[in-house]
Structure 1
């Protein structure tokens, strides 16, 4: 029997949820507001939240100074490309771990996840030298490979969790009907796990889009994504907060819009299998 929830309890929970949400959103709001200020108003003390002289000159200067659309195209290619490549590798891997009994599956999964605990700077020099020797520095191909490798443990873990919720009897029935291994994965398993795969895809696009460490160290100009585009507004002369905020707003706007329109699918995928 469901436990009754009082109106007061609902109000408290709602207020707490709004407080947490606004706290998380406030840095984004502050960045957006600062992007419409002049440089003098951006560093004013005390700062003004809404009552200032609104201007769009920062966006004009950012577009005039930098090739925003080239950086945007690089971010799209790197984030989407690395995620799709990761899914091609992770789906068969997660299938084998979820449906092929083995004693060490959990140990292997934990080992994969442990690679995310290593500070990236610890492997920067060997990766940089490998990329230099193979001609992958400042290339989209190189960044797609790096993003795939650093996010692959998360992709496999998420897909393994979703695949474990699918009854094995369905796959056994497909085998009895003569389905080959790849037909089983492609035509039976994958369609049933679409919500989980979609949420994994969306989450890893966001992770790759926001990755800054590797993009700043392995690119110069040709393959630089939007994270490098933002960093270019930090100069020896100082920080131009208004222009930096405008560049940041232009960099996060596409991923915010994607997240807004795909939030239903993302939540559905993250709760996939939670209710029997």
Structure 2
């Protein structure tokens, strides 16, 4: 466990920008590992889709069981999308970290999103207290574990870059290892965020809107690139299109784009021999 945490931290200290893709089951985790990625991250939305429910309808037990399954399915460090954790107060944030470490995760993200439609983002003071409590819990357990603090403004209709930067700076001061504001939609905003903090910044690609290359993001100062649920949405989108073709046309041309058995199974044979 400690070695994975250390390996994950070292990725953030290397000079190059790195990609941390988001599998949603054992098969996709093993495919990504066999392709040479250095770390993986779970996706709360991808997990929800795999369980046939909307995001936000997955229980804490289901989330933790899934994270443990992902940890056990790969030799790579796994960071978990734990949303707001098990509760709202700082003590619950601390308990979230203790649980995450206990199941072998190398890191996790904690959001300042409340889950409440009328008040979607925690007050800054509470959001900071939660990150401080999470960091103290990690330090008390003496495990190398990377805490990512997420400022969710842009995901919930609060397109306030100044407040987002203020939150990220406060999270940095509170001890967060990585800073993350999903929903930034142009390179100038991303660059401004990166220049406003000294800790590594994660940026997600694959949300609706513009996407940028690894080179462009690296030049803007990004250290880590995730893809959220976009690969899961691509997979489910292809499935839906195939089903619609069958229903509407009675044809099966979608199968021309299906990966072959031998190519797909080759990924899993690599995992078996590891």
Q: Report the TM-score, using the length of structure 1 for normalisation.
A: 0.23
Which structure: larger Rg?
Answer: 1
Q: Report the TM-score, using the length of structure 2 for normalisation.
A: 0.23
Q: Specify which structure has the higher proportion of helix.
A: 1
Select the structure with the greater relative contact order (CA < 8 A; seq sep ≥ 6): 1
